Chain A
């Protein structure tokens, strides 16, 4: 089986709701000829149907792009519209946005770490089988996820596609007691998060590294809701410079555009990039957890991204506790954002990486243009590059083992198409 000359691995369905994709690998002898992460989810035309809408609508409309990271869409949308209108939302309202974002990070990372990624390292086909043997571990994951959900519900009005976010702030801000009521479960979550890091640090990781240029926001705090874009290659530009620095190109096998730097270099965004570029801005507790887990100044093994996500859960819980401890309800739930003609850009750190929005407003305040660049499409080229190099060192494996390792390599990036990767069918084309 392994000495065939031509091998083609096809994984037909990587996905369901949040995206649909497939994996295609073709090898000849010891050479990997082609690796494609096909994304065939039908294009959804959000950018087109945002045109003609009021400037107040993108946070609610774009939240519908994703059921796992709607807050990211809302935050990037608000930031871009507010920038177009020349309004800055900061102070307590800014802190509340950050708190809401912490809830999403906790929920999204806990889902990925426990239900999607960990089974790979422990030799289980999925979370259910993991739970049979390690019930307390999965209970811990569910508990963490629920804490994130609760933050979303209290602050966002509901857990999925929150309804309380608006351009300028919120429709309603919580009373102090509504937030302090979360303190106890967040303290428990902090212990759970620390235990998560310790647990994941004991996994065995495949020996594999990459040298992609990392791109993440940088700010005076660990980046969530804003900052300046920086790269490990020394690039630095604001949200408004995104389209001068990053170009998207169409590739035949994907309905998602591939993003690259304007000079042609590929890059990677997400937890590995955030960590490498902002490690010193982690809270002392999160930094200590990272050090105990053996994460150095940067992490170049994508399989160890599960550790970085675990550290980011510690950070998000810690940050949520900090914000709640200092919270005093603001005098009003939002600031006015009167529309004006112009263009605004917003970039925030979705759980999976940099999420860019741009809106053009006409003189009547209606949108004349919109652009959305999500993290998974930015990472697609880097994921394929990883797969190409990863497969080349593992061609001795049989198709079954090789396919499994490829799926695992894709899950390293928690792509929005990851939720179903435990259910892949493999077709081997023996040409």
Chain B
């Protein structure tokens, strides 16, 4: 079983990139589609037992390049060690917890889309919307064939990617 999990809040502008990808894949891929908020227990419940789980999430990066896609690959141990979130339970914790309790998918792939605007409101900024289409197209090919296209910017992944909420630290 393959599952694509869009993580994010579609009322926080570009944070809705992950859910938008899940929506764009509807009817196009032989995979379960899910949307969640990134809370680790929910993520684990979604991906446990899957052969392949693809998590699509919005991130901030420094220096920023909105719309850039980071293919964080499948090295769960590396993901768990990465400080994906600044001071909260985030994707890195979900991976660490999933590993600790043996509830990981067979393979995990994380696609992180750099966002520009995480303010209140609906709708993606243009470059992020284009990235959502690109990721959806890529996953449509990848999940319907044996091909595994990667994003150019994926190698090597930027070292300083952090999940969006991680940026919400105190002034």
Contact = CB atoms under 8 A, between A and B. Distances in A.
B42 A149 contact: yes
Contacts of A135: 100-102
A386 interface: no
Contacts of A17: 37, 88, 165, 168
Contacts of B37: 17, 67, 160
A419 B88 contact: yes
Nearest to B96: A128
Contacts of B97: 127-128, 131, 138
Contacts, number: 80
B103 A142 contact: yes
A429 B41 CA distance: 37
A188 B39 CA distance: 23
Contacts of B166: 16
Interface string A140-166: 011001100100000000011000000
Given A22-B170, A142-B45, A419 B89 contact: yes
A67 B85 CA distance: 18
B40 interface: yes
Given A135-B100, A135-B102, A159 B88 contact: no
A135 B103 CA distance: 11
Contacts of B39: 67-68, 111
Given A13-B169, A128-B96, A146-B41, A64 B11 contact: yes
A420 B87 contact: yes
Q: Which of B41, B44, B80, B103 has the largest number of chain A CB atoms within 10 A?
A: B41
Given A131-B97, A149-B45, A16 B103 contact: no
Interface in A248-282: none
Contacts of A423: 86-88
A13 B87 contact: yes
A115 B100 contact: no
A115 B41 contact: yes
B147 to A, nearest CB: 32
A131 B45 contact: no
Contacts of A64: 11
B32 interface: no
Interface in B18-37: 36-37
B57 interface: no
A13 B169 CA distance: 6
B114 interface: no
Interface string A56-86: 0000000010011000000000000000000
A34 interface: no
Q: Which of A17, A22, A68, A141 has the largest number of chain B CB atoms within 10 A?
A: A17
B13 to A, nearest CB: 15
B163 to A, nearest CB: 10
Given A67-B37, A138-B100, A159-B42, A115 B89 contact: yes
A141 B169 CA distance: 28
Nearest to A132: B100
A139 interface: yes
Interface residues of B, number: 27
Nearest to A41: B168
Interface string B78-119: 001000011111000100110011110000000000000000
B41 A145 contact: yes
A372 interface: no
A424 interface: yes
Nearest to B44: A142
A131 B100 contact: yes
A57 B169 CA distance: 32
A35 B165 CA distance: 27
A416 to B, nearest CB: 13
A343 B149 CA distance: 58
A36 B144 CA distance: 56
Contacts of B101: 131, 135, 138-139, 142
Nearest to A45: B120
Given A67-B37, A115-B40, A146 B45 contact: yes
A128 B11 contact: no
Given A131-B101, A138-B101, A12 B89 contact: no
Nearest to A40: B170
A142 B41 contact: yes
Contacts of A424: 87
A192 interface: no
Contacts of B100: 128, 131-132, 135, 138
A319 interface: no
Interface string B132-171: 0000000000000000000000000000000001101110
Contacts of B11: 64
Q: Which 6 A-B pairs have the closest CB atoms?
A: A423-B87, A131-B100, A16-B88, A13-B170, A420-B88, A12-B170
Given A22-B170, A115-B41, 5 more contacts: A135-B100, A138-B100, A142-B44, A149-B45, A424-B87
27 contacts: A12-B169, A16-B85, A16-B86, A16-B87, A16-B88, A16-B166, A16-B168, A17-B88, A67-B37, A68-B39, A115-B40, A115-B41, A115-B89, A128-B97, A128-B100, A131-B97, A135-B101, A138-B100, A139-B103, A146-B45, A149-B45, A159-B36, A159-B42, A419-B89, A420-B87, A423-B87, A424-B87
Interface of A: 12-13, 15-17, 20, 22, 40, 64, 67-68, 110-111, 115, 126-128, 131-132, 135, 138-139, 141-142, 145-146, 149, 159-160, 419-420, 423-425
